[in-house]
Structure 1
Amino acid sequence: MENKAAGKVITCRAAVARGPGLPLAIEEVQVDPPQGTEVRVKILFTSICHTDLSAWKGENEAERVYPRILGHEATGVIESVGEGVTGLKEGDHVVPIFHGECGECAYCLRPETNACKKFGIDPMRKTMPSDGSVRFWSKDRSEPIFHFLNTSTFSEYTVMESSCIVKIDRRFPLQKLCIVSCGVSTGVGAVWNTADVQAGQKVAIFGLGAVGLAVAAGARARGASQIIGVDINPNKFDKGKNMGITDFINSGQLQESLSEEIVRISGGGVDYSFECSGNLQALREAFLSTHNGWGLTVMLGVHVKPDTLPIHPMELFSGRRVEGCIFGGFKGKTQLPDFAVQCVKGAVDLDQFITHELPFEWINEGLQLLVDGKSLRCVLSL
């Protein structure tokens, strides 16, 4: 069937952020057709991540760009493609990725990194990478509306670079797979790719949100012998147990040093710790909780303040290490399709991460669930 909208402006609904902490406004916006190597996608499902929450609150002053369409975890169907797009076509089922892969730059060509010079994550970028212009406009086209994290999925239609689009099997459940756009991939990938946890090893997880619990699921899948979960919210412990966590510590009620307690119950320190909270003190405790000589701390939490690492240089001579991890170390376009297959086959139970499902127009209620710590992932149906 002929696509009569191809090459034309589409008017649709979007949730527009107009100020820090203000309720997202469901508005009619105009979405321009894709240019060059871009793709326009009809979003079917999108979920709410803590990164969206942080941007909505305006926690990082440099990110306070308005009006803006947030959102970066989603699934959808390609509506149309630009002239220079290869490997993708109208009707393909896709997962957007905020951390793109052009496949050509010096970073993409190196196996030891998943960075991309052209389309890697850039929270400050507010326009299209190709030409610095916008693809969203107010209904009367009097006001440009800015992009977010290469994706902007809180909209019925969005435009993205083809390097930020991953094609998936049409038989896969789109509602579930929207959460592999960020949270689940970040946590599981940190275990499988960055740390490469092996059977019998011990891990500690600081912060039991969706990313932290994805770390637990990844560690269990790898056969970790001990998975210690740390959080100040005891309501997360039952969920964590289902994800594979073997020991829990409520850091808000602990009288002694958190790292000393982890060293004690792990018998000398864990092999790997994962900092998922974006808290500097938690990062230090995560570092000290690992075993002398070989312990590795993987940093996943987003630190919005311009603070430095709480580690004295001499402490690194103990053999402990710290490494940052973006998008679980996955090269999105080349490795995410296989990860999606593994999730569908049951290596990671995606259903456990989806705690709420709401219609798109209830997006502010979904944000509040995350603020209140009542949800892991709220999936919105468009």
Structure 2
Amino acid sequence: MSSSSIKTPNVITCRAAVGYGAGEALVIEEVEVSPPQPMEIRIKVVFTSLCRSDITAWSQAPIFPRIFGHEASGIVESVGEGVTEFEEGDHVLTLFTGECMTCRHCTSGKSNMCQVLGLERKGVMHSDQKTRFSIKGKPIYHYCAVSSFSEYTVVHSGCALKVSSLAPLDKICLLSCGVSAGLGAAWKVANITEGSTVVIFGLGTVGLSVAQGAKQRGASRIIGVDINSEKIEKARAFGITEFVNPHDCNEPVQQVIKQMTDGGADYSFECIGDTGMVTTALQSCCDGWGLTVTLGVPKVNPEISSHYALFLSGRTLRGSLFGGWRPKSDLHSLVDMYMRKEIQIDEFITHNLPFEDINKAFDLMIEGKCLRCVIHMPT
């Protein structure tokens, strides 16, 4: 093929939901999306779901204007120089944390904390510290290296996963974050054993995914803790065997859990994003081998404070980012499991909304009326 016949991507004008300030309603605007630069791909977003992390960032992020969204699926529209893994028309999942395959962490086999494509916090691309979005020449910042609340987005090729065209994009988009995070916390981080007792604080998508993973590992008791008692029936479908509402307790919930479990659970999971609850989860574990895994992103007070005796007695606290999955190396297995009907995804989707109703999706999650809203982007 001659160089003159190679297709050169142009700037695309499309619609995106832009956040202009903390807690302010998103505004659907016409934005310009630059062509992908070396080792980047431009994606036509087909479906994106709303994650609690989007809400947290939107309510307090210091960087605006910004396009949020990170849990998404789409189709590759164009590729940048040097990209050999993807081509136009490929179906992909977006990845909020990438995998370069060459750094110390990626080659260790012990970590998914890529030193090159790890969590992006500055609102710009990893490669050149610039944005690919703009409105009339003014930059619009990225979120979590994805920014899926846009008809088109640009990501580093290490922040996308090619998937089978047979996999339904409106369902597997949930594997971009929440469902995978919960399953991985149960299987990879905690490595739950058969017959064990598990307590889960927070029964959103992540917490219920932990429950699903614990059930598959043969946990004997899976205790769900949440202040919303309306979640009981939904929770049972994912494996929750008992439910505790702290508001209904006459003593601290950790004492209730210890009484229920003869001294504490084998495993506890903090899926709320409350550092105070991390201590509560630790106190709900048993001496000797109790393991607490924290998955939530705190909205305030990011520091954890716990008495040293909790650890001296043998308890362990572990953090979990994306369930410990190496996103490009491991996530294929979850897509395959879903296609074989071995894991539940569809049941997490409580609402399907058009892009124009994205602020309604925010309202539903803030009000605790949904697990996952899948947002259909215009075709």
> TM-score normalised to the size of structure 1?
0.95
Query: Hey, which bits of structure 1, 4+ residues long, moved more than 2 A?
Result: 3-6, 304-308
1:280 aligns with 2:275: yes
Specify which of 102, 109, 133 is matched with residue 136 of structure 1. 133
CA contact (8 A) 2:64 2:140 kept: yes
- Deviation larger for 173-182 or 113-122: 113-122
State the Cα distance separating 1:86 from its structure 2 match: 2.2
Shift of the alpha carbon at 1:53?
A: 0.7
Instruction: Give deviations 1:81-138, integer Å, cap 9, x for gaps.
Output: 111112111111000010111000001011111110011113x221111001110011
* Residue-by-residue CA offset, 1:116-171 (whole Å, 9 max, x unaligned): 0011113x221111001110011xx3311000001000000000000100111111
What amino acid is the match of 2:143?
A: F
Give the deviation of 1:341 after TM superposition.
Answer: 0.8
Question: For 1:9 and 1:174, how far apart are their aligned partners in 2?
Answer: 25
What RMSD over aligned residues (CA atoms) do the two structures have, in Å? Answer: 1.4
Deviation at 1:314, TM superposition (A): 3.1
How is 1:41-56 mapped onto 2 (pairs within 5 angstroms)? 41-56=43-58
Confirm whether residue 312 of structure 1 aligns to residue 314 of structure 2: no
Size of the aligned set, in residue pairs, is 373
For residues 154 and 108 of structure 2, the distance between their equivalents in structure 1, rounded to whole angstroms, comes to 28
- Structure-2 residue corresponding to 1:251: 246
Asked whether the 8 Å contact 1:232–1:251 carries over to 2, the reply is yes
Question: What is the identity, as a one-letter code, of the residue corresponding to 1:36?
Answer: P
CA distance in 1, matches of 2:6, 2:23: 38
Q: Distance in 1 between matches of 2:49 and 2:246?
A: 28
1:156 alignment partner, one of 136, 139, 151: 151
Matched ranges for 1:1-382 at <5 A: 6-58=8-60, 63-122=61-120, 124-138=121-135, 141-382=136-377
How far is 1:280 from its partner? 2.5
Tell me how far 1:308 sits from its aligned partner. 2.6
Shift of 1:316: 0.7
- Taking a change above 3 Å as real, the CA distance of residues 307 and 67 of structure 1, as seen in their structure-2 partners, is closer
Q: Is the 8 A contact 2:227 2:245 kept in 1?
A: yes
Report Cα offsets for 1:182-211 as digits up to 9, x if no partner. 000111110011001122111100011111
CA distance in 2 between counterparts of 1:268 and 1:5 reads 66
Maintained 8 Å contact 1:6/1:79:
no
SS at structure 2 position matched to 1:337: helix
Are 2:199 and 2:224, in contact at CA under 8 Å, matched by a contact in 1? Answer: yes
The answer (yes or no) to whether the contact 1:68–1:148 under 8 Å persists in 2 is: yes
SS at structure 1 position matched to 2:223: strand
TM-score normalised over the length of structure 2 = 0.96
- Residue type matched to 1:12 in 2? C
**Which 10-residue stretch deviates more, 8-17 or 275-284?**
275-284
* Aligned residue type for 1:40: R
Deviation per CA, 1:329-371: give whole Å up to 9, x if none: 0000000011111122222211110000000110000110001
Q: Any stretches of 5+ residues in structure 2 without a counterpart?
A: none
Q: Distance in 2 between matches of 1:6 and 1:48?
A: 33
Partners of 1:199 and 1:363 in 2: CA distance: 41
1:134 corresponds to which letter in structure 2?
A: T
* Amino acid of the structure 2 residue aligned with 1:81: V
Residue 274 of structure 2 contacts residue 299 of structure 2 at CA under 8 Å; is this kept in 1? no
Query: What percent of counterpart residues are identical?
Result: 46
| Contact 2:282-2:310 at 8 Å conserved across structures | no
